[in-house]
Amino acid sequence: MKISIVINSYNQSYYLKHAIESVLSQTYQNFDLLIWDDGSTDDSVSIAREFAATDTRVRVVAAEHQGRGKALKAAIEATHGEYIGWVDRDDILAATALEQTAAVLDSNAQIGMVYSDYLEIDENGTFLKPGDRCQIPYSRDRLLTDFMTFHFRLIRRDIFDRCGGIDPEFEYAEDYDLCLRLSETTEIYHLKQPLYFYRIHRDNTSWHYEHLQIDRSKKAVENALDRRGLSDTLNLDVVNGNFILHPRPSVPLTRVAAVLASLTIPLVPLTATAEPNVPNNTAKIAETTSQGVVKSVSPIFDPFATPLGDGVTQAELEDSLDRLNKSAKTPHVRQNERIGRGYGYGRGYGYGRGYRDRGRLQVPPTPQNIRPQSNGVRYIISPDGNIEFEK
């Protein structure tokens, strides 16, 4: 098969059926679907096997529970497609997602990953608003402060393998860590079409483990700074969910100017000038794998008494919160700083508080399991498969 899609499933079976149906309803047919169940305690495996019994493209692996990161890594390793992507168990893929993203990779050999826009829906499938993250212009440098390469992503397998694939030690930020490494290995293309429906609900893992997610995201960015030869010049602080990238005070202005000239993110410029100094960092990617990530040492801790599990421990949550509290300051924009949202903290970038901010746009009637709001501007699917907003 040309494309392998993975659904990494752990409980929440009431959403799983819709996720599977959305993949099997693709206009592009040259794909297979691996549903990897990470030790669910509900009827998720039974639901997955019902689809496998009637569709030869579907495989089901019922594995022992090992956590989201390890499960995703194992699932991808069990696939063989030239292109790979994954859909969360509670989300929905637009019908033309594979067709449109595969077309980008097919016609552009230099592009190793393509990602789309996404729309937010609630637990009932009601449209909330367009995703915020994907509205941020992509650049490999701005990715240091803003995780805009969110959903949906289709990746060349050889590029995925070359940069090290999924690092399970960055669980809950494993996709951010991966995208940072991919940005240092290949070209990334933003397909400005909403091809993914991201579901916001009270069981989102990001609601439960936001401190862990933000802490591991911070470490992923710090590793990227090190790989890119920037860690001796730039420092990252995380304050109230803001990722603040700023020069270290002890660094000479000429060195800071050289680094800033090499970046493609908006920073307040210095009066000093220099030519761009772009380090060759590809060889350092493997060196930073799993650096500085706390290991699981105690029993699973579930702060909201819901069946999430996913291998998170109380020690990990407490350690991540302690590290964030120690570095917390009042955010203040100073010269040569870049403030972004990073990954997590429910700032309307796919998590938490964005759930309460319903948008005015409306979803089209074509995708199944999506219920539109009663009014507002609608978007339509044109004959060529693109999604356009009505005038």
- Does an H or E element contain 215, and which? helix 210-227
DSSP summary character for residue 306: S
User: Does 304 or 99 have the greater pLDDT score?
Assistant: 99
pLDDT at residue 391 in the model: 35
Q: State both tokens at 193.
A: 């079409």
Residue burial 232-251, b: 16+ Cβ < 10 Å; e: rest: ebbbbbbeebbbbbbbeeee
Average pLDDT of every residue of the chain: 74
pLDDT at residue 330 in the model: 42
pLDDT at residue 12 in the model: 83
Q: Of the given ranges (128-142, 198-212, 272-286, 298-312), which has the lowest mean pLDDT?
A: 298-312
d(C-alpha 39, C-alpha 137), whole Å? 38
pLDDT at residue 74 in the model: 96
Domains of the chain: 3-204+353-389 (3.90.550.10), 208-340 (no CATH)
pLDDT at residue 352 in the model: 26
Pairing of strands 127-130, 58-63: unpaired
Share of the chain above pLDDT 90, in %: 44
d(C-alpha 298, C-alpha 311), whole Å? 10
Q: State both tokens at 42.
A: 């509900």
Q: What is the dihedral of CA 159, 163, 165, 168, to 10 degrees?
A: -160
pLDDT at residue 24 in the model: 97
Q: Are 336 and 247 in contact (CB under 8 A)?
A: yes
Mean pLDDT along residues 155-179: 94
Asked whether residue 58 carries a pLDDT value surpassing 90, the answer given is: yes
Asked whether residue 168 carries a pLDDT value surpassing 70, the answer given is: yes
Asked whether residue 230 carries a pLDDT value surpassing 80, the answer given is: yes
Asked whether residue 94 carries a pLDDT value surpassing 90, the answer given is: yes
Asked whether residue 171 carries a pLDDT value surpassing 80, the answer given is: yes
pLDDT at residue 1 in the model: 76
pLDDT at residue 139 in the model: 86
Asked whether residue 181 carries a pLDDT value surpassing 80, the answer given is: yes
d(C-alpha 128, C-alpha 120), whole Å? 5
Asked whether residue 165 carries a pLDDT value surpassing 80, the answer given is: yes
User: Does 227 or 241 have the greater pLDDT score?
Assistant: 227
Using pLDDT thresholds of 50, 70 and 90, give the confidence band for residue 342: low
Q: Are 230 and 323 in contact (CB under 8 A)?
A: no
User: Does 316 or 72 have the greater pLDDT score?
Assistant: 72
Three-state SS at 50: helix
Instruction: Report the first-to-last Cα separation within the chain, whole angstroms.
Output: 39
Q: Are 33 and 24 in contact (CB under 8 A)?
A: yes
Mean pLDDT along residues 61-82: 94
User: Does 381 or 100 have the greater pLDDT score?
Assistant: 100
